[in-house]
Protein backbone atom coordinates (compact mmCIF):
# COMPACT_ATOMS: atom_id res chain seq x y z
CA UNK A 1 0.00 0.00 0.00
CA UNK A 2 1.41 3.32 -1.07
CA UNK A 3 0.34 6.91 -0.43
CA UNK A 4 0.94 9.79 -2.80
CA UNK A 5 -0.21 13.38 -2.62
CA UNK A 6 -3.63 14.02 -4.18
CA UNK A 7 -2.26 16.19 -6.99
CA UNK A 8 0.35 13.70 -8.15
CA UNK A 9 -0.02 11.86 -11.41
CA UNK A 10 -1.03 8.23 -11.21
CA UNK A 11 2.08 6.21 -12.04
CA UNK A 12 2.03 3.70 -14.88
CA UNK A 13 0.88 0.34 -13.54
CA UNK A 14 1.30 -2.99 -15.22
CA UNK A 15 -1.99 -4.73 -15.97
CA UNK A 16 -0.12 -8.02 -15.56
CA UNK A 17 -0.45 -7.89 -11.77
CA UNK A 18 -3.23 -10.03 -10.34
CA UNK A 19 -4.44 -7.31 -7.99
CA UNK A 20 -4.07 -3.56 -7.72
CA UNK A 21 -6.31 -0.68 -6.77
CA UNK A 22 -6.23 3.10 -7.03
CA UNK A 23 -8.27 5.40 -4.80
CA UNK A 24 -8.18 9.16 -5.15
CA UNK A 25 -9.67 11.57 -2.63
CA UNK A 26 -9.17 15.24 -2.01
CA UNK A 27 -6.63 14.28 0.69
CA UNK A 28 -4.61 11.50 -0.90
CA UNK A 29 -3.90 9.13 -3.74
CA UNK A 30 -3.69 5.56 -2.44
CA UNK A 31 -2.25 2.71 -4.46
CA UNK A 32 -2.55 -0.93 -3.52
CA UNK A 33 -0.14 -2.91 -5.65
CA UNK A 34 2.66 -5.46 -5.43
CA UNK A 35 5.53 -4.10 -3.36
CA UNK A 36 8.02 -4.28 -6.23
CA UNK A 37 5.83 -1.85 -8.19
CA UNK A 38 5.80 0.92 -5.56
CA UNK A 39 7.21 4.11 -7.11
CA UNK A 40 10.70 4.88 -5.81
CA UNK A 41 10.90 7.13 -2.79
CA UNK A 42 7.22 6.84 -1.83
CA UNK A 43 5.81 6.07 1.60
CA UNK A 44 4.41 2.53 1.68
CA UNK A 45 3.38 -0.35 3.92
CA UNK A 46 4.50 -3.71 2.58
CA UNK A 47 3.98 -7.31 3.58
CA UNK A 48 0.24 -7.72 2.98
CA UNK A 49 -1.67 -10.68 1.49
CA UNK A 50 -5.00 -10.53 -0.27
CA UNK A 51 -8.05 -12.69 0.49
CA UNK A 52 -10.92 -12.57 -1.97
CA UNK A 53 -14.58 -13.28 -1.29
CA UNK A 54 -15.61 -15.78 -3.95
CA UNK A 55 -18.62 -15.16 -6.11
CA UNK A 56 -20.49 -12.09 -7.17
CA UNK A 57 -21.98 -10.05 -4.33
CA UNK A 58 -25.30 -8.40 -5.00
CA UNK A 59 -25.50 -4.77 -3.90
CA UNK A 60 -28.55 -5.65 -1.80
CA UNK A 61 -26.56 -7.98 0.46
CA UNK A 62 -25.81 -6.63 3.90
CA UNK A 63 -23.30 -7.68 6.53
CA UNK A 64 -20.84 -9.50 4.26
CA UNK A 65 -17.86 -7.39 5.23
CA UNK A 66 -18.93 -7.33 8.89
CA UNK A 67 -19.15 -11.14 8.93
CA UNK A 68 -15.51 -11.24 7.82
CA UNK A 69 -14.14 -8.32 9.81
CA UNK A 70 -15.71 -9.30 13.15
CA UNK A 71 -13.92 -12.65 13.67
CA UNK A 72 -10.67 -11.10 12.48
CA UNK A 73 -11.05 -8.22 14.94
CA UNK A 74 -11.76 -10.70 17.74
CA UNK A 75 -8.53 -12.50 16.79
CA UNK A 76 -6.63 -9.20 16.90
CA UNK A 77 -5.98 -9.17 13.16
CA UNK A 78 -5.88 -5.84 11.38
CA UNK A 79 -7.44 -5.63 7.93
CA UNK A 80 -7.48 -3.29 4.97
CA UNK A 81 -10.74 -3.82 3.07
CA UNK A 82 -11.36 -3.02 -0.57
CA UNK A 83 -14.68 -3.49 -2.33
CA UNK A 84 -15.13 -3.68 -6.07
CA UNK A 85 -18.24 -3.82 -8.19
CA UNK A 86 -18.34 -7.62 -7.94
CA UNK A 87 -16.88 -8.59 -4.57
CA UNK A 88 -14.84 -7.73 -1.48
CA UNK A 89 -11.16 -8.17 -0.72
CA UNK A 90 -9.48 -8.28 2.66
CA UNK A 91 -5.80 -7.54 2.98
CA UNK A 92 -4.07 -8.93 6.06
CA UNK A 93 -0.45 -8.77 7.09
CA UNK A 94 1.58 -11.68 5.78
CA UNK A 95 2.40 -12.82 9.32
CA UNK A 96 -1.32 -12.94 10.16
CA UNK A 97 -2.45 -14.93 7.12
CA UNK A 98 -2.61 -18.36 8.80
CA UNK A 99 -4.36 -16.93 11.87
CA UNK A 100 -6.80 -15.02 9.64
CA UNK A 101 -7.72 -18.14 7.70
CA UNK A 102 -8.19 -20.06 10.94
CA UNK A 103 -10.37 -17.31 12.49
CA UNK A 104 -12.52 -17.13 9.37
CA UNK A 105 -12.89 -20.92 9.18
CA UNK A 106 -13.82 -21.11 12.88
CA UNK A 107 -16.57 -18.56 12.26
CA UNK A 108 -18.07 -20.68 9.48
CA UNK A 109 -16.40 -19.28 6.37
CA UNK A 110 -15.05 -21.73 3.80
CA UNK A 111 -11.42 -21.11 2.93
CA UNK A 112 -10.30 -22.22 -0.49
CA UNK A 113 -6.55 -22.53 -0.71
CA UNK A 114 -4.91 -20.60 -3.46
CA UNK A 115 -1.54 -18.96 -3.48
CA UNK A 116 -2.17 -15.57 -1.85
CA UNK A 117 -1.39 -12.35 -3.64
CA UNK A 118 1.43 -10.72 -1.74
CA UNK A 119 1.47 -6.95 -1.68
Do 66 and 30 fall into the same domain?
no
Do 37 and 51 fall into the same domain?
no
Do 53 and 39 fall into the same domain?
no
The whole domain housing 37 covers: 1-43
Could you give the C-alpha distances from 32 to 13, 14, 40, 48, 103, in angstroms and in order?
11, 12, 15, 10, 24
- DSSP β-bridge partners for residue 24: 29
What pLDDT digit, counting tens, does each position of 11-54 carry?
A: 877 777 778 899 999 999 999 988 888 888 888 988 999 898 87
Cα(91)–Cα(83) distance, integer angstroms: 11
pTM reported for the whole predicted model: 0.81
Read off φ and ψ for residue 55, nearest 5 degrees: 90, 170
Do 25 and 71 fall into the same domain?
no
Do 54 and 73 fall into the same domain?
yes
Do 60 and 111 fall into the same domain?
yes
Look at the chain and report how many structural domains it folds into.
Answer: 2
Do 79 and 22 fall into the same domain?
no
What pLDDT digit, counting tens, does each position of 44-97 carry?
A: 988 999 898 877 666 776 678 899 999 999 999 999 999 988 888 999 999 999
Amino acid sequence: MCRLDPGEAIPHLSLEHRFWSITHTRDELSLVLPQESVPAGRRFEGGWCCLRVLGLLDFGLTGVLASLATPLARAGISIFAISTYDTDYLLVREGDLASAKRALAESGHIIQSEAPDDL
